[in-house]
Amino acid sequence: MELLSTNVSFDGEHRRYRHTSATLECTMEFAVYLPPIAVGPDPQKVPALWWLSGLTCNDQNFMQKAGAQKKAAELGMAIICPDTSPRGVNLPGEDDSYDFGSGAGFYINATQQPWAPHYRMHDYVVKELSQLVESELALTGKRSISGHSMGGHGALICALRNPGRYVSVSAFAPIAHPTKCPWGEKAFKGYLGDNPAGWEEWDATLLIPEADERLPLLIDQGTADDFLESQLNPEALVEACVQHSHPINLRMRSGYDHSYFFIASFIDDHLNHHAAALGLS
Amino acid sequence: MELLSTNVSFDGEHRRYRHTSATLECTMEFAVYLPPIAVGPDPQKVPALWWLSGLTCNDQNFMQKAGAQKKAAELGMAIICPDTSPRGVNLPGEDDSYDFGSGAGFYINATQQPWAPHYRMHDYVVKELSQLVESELALTGKRSISGHSMGGHGALICALRNPGRYVSVSAFAPIAHPTKCPWGEKAFKGYLGDNPAGWEEWDATLLIPEADERLPLLIDQGTADDFLESQLNPEALVEACVQHSHPINLRMRSGYDHSYFFIASFIDDHLNHHAAALGLS
């Protein structure tokens, strides 16, 4: 992997890298925050929080806007931000809409042409990129995962589909039941085909009944989020959790919207939650 | 003034407004952060930190990237972010370069045509906008001022030229001696004319000998800042301060660059500095 840039941040380092992804068959960029103890001449290995961003984002939105580095530096936690889709693969229609194709990979593995060979963001995040950064950077290999909106749901399915791989999971305003909302229906139809039976393994709400591991779900959701009723549907996820005794903590945050101002307001709570699971506090 | 948007942030509010500026003869936008005690049905008046941004910025860069709202919410401090130049005045060449015209008002009052009637950012920030927001929002009228790069210098000259108007001043990587660097020479020649004698009243380093008020200058400067040697020249400001017994605290920050990752790392220190002067801590 090629180092593109480094910014010192709270005495740690924000770095951007480029690499060739075998899973996605394209060149990808990603960002890493390493806390002070994981940089310098004698770096110590640290656990990592994986952050999955939402529609239209790349690896930079969270690093620039969430204000997470101060707490991560204090805790001794790395943060890994992948991009949100393959890039530059030149598929027809790839850049035509904000909610499908570029910037909208949904952290699933596509089965339909022409998306199938490239749009495999689940395997990229869970397998290839973690293997790469854990071999190249000062990381222990202990992982938590979180994200926002499309990425909040991405965090939930990465955790639910891969028991034992993440020690904790949280989400901000996740698209909680994508097989039953316009964003999810459009994406799943495009990437997975017309038959909704093939969509179920990628829907967090539908994965709850079969979950092998009862990893508690920590979710923050703003009450003034413009997408709450039409797209996000946290009550469906809560209902599935209640029915199947899956621990969930859905915190409705009065007056907050879907923006990074909302994420920044509560990111420290999430970092503390993950730090406890990672053995950092 | 017209409210454009509101985002709840750390239980306070980030708001964007539009208004018609008489000073600049154009429509301007600006951003405000109001801490929790200054919003809601029974708002209390709070003091304000004015933040002046650097080249190419608008009112949003600081609000989205500096991570200042958490500390401001705790302290009970408002933050006001003006834009960095007049907008939409359609002067020839206005948008031709990143360091002159749009996004590059330098917080001075232009004397040269065609810039003179519009490019009067000093009077806009110091007089018109403060009068407007202090009459319309829950502000006490007690003010501090800070900024970055072009805006760091802007903060210094606003404080130095207007004794008694600000209770404290600080800067991140200011263009400390603009009459002697390429950015400053280009801007001052364009806005103020060919005669450097007319530039002196807008150069912080040259204002120190005549300063009526010994307001301490708090400055953070990264050692890995790409513009340090060519444009910023903090040592000239320090030399003037030492010669004229003007209190200055220049903190050279090892490894930090010119980005918002640098600003975010030390913004809480600056907010605490201003809070003490504003009577908040």
Q: What is the DSSP letter of A43?
A: P
CA distance A168 to A48: 11
**pLDDT, tens digit, 9 for 90 and up, residues B25-40:** 999 999 999 999 999 9
Residues of B in contact with A33 (CB under 8 A): none
Helix (H) or strand (E) holding B141: strand B139-147
Chain B closest-CA separation from residue A33 CA (Å)? 11
Q: Are A25 and A118 in contact (CB under 8 A)?
A: yes
Q: Does B249 touch chain A (CB under 8 A)?
A: no
DSSP line for B199-240 = GGGG-HHHHGGG-SS-PPEEEEEETT-TTIIIII-HHHHHHH
CA distance B276 to B268: 12
My answer on whether omega of the bond before A114 falls inside 30° of 0, hence cis, is yes
Which of the residues A34, A261, A272 would you substitute to probe the B interface, choosing the one with the greatest number of B C-beta atoms within 10 Å?
A261
- The whole-angstrom separation of Cα B26 and Cα B119 is 10
- Residue corresponding to tokens 């910025």: B57
> Does the beta-carbon distance from A11 to B260 stay under 8 Å?
no
Active site residues of A: 149, 225, 258
Where would I find the beta strands (DSSP E) of chain A?
2-9, 12-21, 26-34, 46-52, 78-81, 139-147, 168-172, 217-222, 248-253
Angle ∠(A26,A27,A29) on CA atoms, nearest 5: 135
Rounded mean pLDDT, B176-201: 98
How far is residue B188 from each of residues A237, B58, B106, B115, B184, measured CA to CA in Å? 60, 20, 9, 11, 6
In chain B, residues with a C-beta closer than 8 Å to the C-beta of A262 are 7-9
Q: Which are the contacts of A96, defined by CB distance < 8 A and separation ≥ 6?
A: none
Please name the residue of chain A whose CA is at the shortest distance from the CA of residue B225: A7
Tokens read off for B111:
């004397």
Distances (CA, A) of B165 to B143, B161, B213: 7, 9, 11
Write down the ipTM of this complex.
0.94
- The CA distance from A105 to A84, in Å, is 6
Give the A:B interface size as CB pairs under 8 Å. 63
CA distance B214 to chain A (A): 31
Q: Contact A9/B264, CB-based, under 8 Å?
A: yes
Contacts of A8 in chain B (CB under 8 A): 222, 224, 255-257, 261-262, 265
* CA-based nearest residue to A173, from A220, A205, A208: A220
- For range B61-69, the mean pLDDT: 98
* Structure tokens that stand for B13 in this block: 């509010």
Residue B163 neighbours by CB under 8 Å, 6+ apart: B211, B212, B213, B215
3-state secondary structure B54-107: CCCCCCHHHHHHCCCHHHHHHHCCEEEECCCCCCCCCCCCCCCECCEECCECCC
Which residue from B minimizes the CA distance to A257?
B7
pLDDT-above-90 percentage for chain B: 99
Task: Check if A261 contacts B (Cβ < 8 Å).
Answer: yes
Which of A7, A65, A257 faces B8 most closely, judged by CB atoms? A257
Question: Cβ of B65 and A64 within 8 Å?
Answer: yes
Considering CB atoms only, which of B8, B11, B261 is closest to A14? B261
Q: Which residue of A has its CA nearest to B62?
A: A65
Of chain B residues 34-73, which have a CB less than 8 A from chain A? Answer: 64-65, 67, 69-70
The answer to whether A69 contacts B224, with C-beta atoms less than 8 Å apart, is no
Distance CA(B245)–CA(B240), nearest Å, equals 8
Which of the 8 DSSP states describes residue A244? T
Can the peptide bond before residue B114 be classed as cis, meaning omega within 30 degrees of 0? Answer: yes
User: What pLDDT does residue A281 have?
Assistant: 78
Binary contact (B265, A9; C-beta < 8 A): yes
Nearest CA in chain A to B69: A265
pLDDT tens readout for residues B233-245: 999 999 999 999 9
**Residue A181 near residue A232, CB atoms below 8 Å:** yes
Kindly tell me if the per-residue pLDDT of B281 is higher than 90.
Answer: no
Contacts of A251 in chain B (CB under 8 A): none
Coil, helix or strand at residue A221: strand
Query: What is the enclosing helix (H) or strand (E) of B269?
Result: helix B260-277
Q: Do A260 and B64 touch (CB under 8 A)?
A: yes
Query: Which positions in chain A touch B257 (Cβ < 8 Å)?
Result: 7-8
Q: Do B9 and A70 touch (CB under 8 A)?
A: no
Structural domains present in chain B: 2-278 (3.40.50.1820)
B270: distance to nearest CA of chain A, Å?
15
Residues of chain A with Cβ-Cβ distance to B14 below 8 Å are 261
Asked if residue A26 lies in contact with residue A102, where contact means CB atoms within 8 angstroms, the answer is: no
> Which residues of chain A neighbour B9 with C-beta distances below 8 Å?
261-262, 264-265
Q: Which of A7, A256, A264 sits opposite B69 (nearest CB)?
A: A264
In order along its 281 residues, chain A shows pLDDT tens digits of: 999 999 999 999 999 999 999 999 999 999 999 999 999 999 999 999 999 999 999 999 999 999 999 999 999 999 999 999 999 999 999 999 999 999 999 999 999 999 999 999 999 999 999 999 999 999 999 999 999 999 999 999 999 999 999 999 999 999 999 999 999 999 999 999 999 999 999 999 999 999 989 999 999 999 999 999 999 999 999 999 999 999 999 999 999 999 999 999 999 999 999 999 999 97
Other C-beta atoms lying within 10 Å of the C-beta of residue B3: 10
User: For residues A7 and B262, is the Cβ–Cβ distance under 8 A?
Assistant: yes
For residue A29, how many other CB atoms are within 10 A of its CB? 18
A261, B224: Cβ pair inside 8 Å? no
Cβ-Cβ contacts under 8 Å for B262 (sequence gap 6 or more): A7, A8, A9, B172, B173, B220, B222, B225, B253, B256
**pLDDT for residue B101:** 97
- The pLDDT value recorded for residue A79 is 99
Q: Is B266 on the interface with A (CB under 8 A)?
A: no
Distance CA A232, CA A188 (A): 15
